Amino acid sequence: QVQLVESGGGSVQAGGSLRLSCAASGRTLSNYRDCMGWFRQSPGKEREGVAVIINGGGSTLYADSVKGRFTISQDNAKNTIYLQMNSQKPEDTAMYYCAARKYGCSLDPQSFNYWGQGTQVIVSS
């Protein structure tokens, strides 16, 4: 099992920035094709992929809605990924979840096996 713990959520005004962190423990994701990422869900909406990063090489995928504003990064030595969120908009308000999966990377939340508890992000106008 992989345990994921998110931190860094909070409230910010539109145009502001937040950085989320996700620390992984337990069964480590050591294969170069393993993947971790960030997803979000707001009330009444389906969970959606925000950004993912592959373990080997650090290739990334972003949702169109966050391209140019959000940056996902990883620190393999710490088994931690980050999501730097800049120029935030009220529509970024959601519960943000960290997730992990083995052998492959996509923005489809249904393909991820391991999930954190989530951290709330609120962006006010």
pLDDT in tens, 15-35: 999 999 999 988 767 777 889
Q: Point out which residues pair with 60 in neighbouring strands.
A: 53
Task: Give the whole-angstrom CA distance, residue 35 versus residue 6.
Answer: 16
Contact partners, residue 46, CB within 8 Å, separation at least 6: none
Work out whether the CA dihedral 14, 17, 71, 94 comes out positive or negative. Answer: negative
Look up residue 13 and give its amino acid.
Q
How do the pLDDT tens digits run along the chain, 125 residues long?
Answer: 899 999 999 999 999 999 999 999 887 677 778 899 999 999 999 999 999 999 877 899 999 999 999 999 999 888 899 999 999 999 999 999 999 999 899 999 999 999 999 999 999 99
Structure tokens at 106: 């996509």
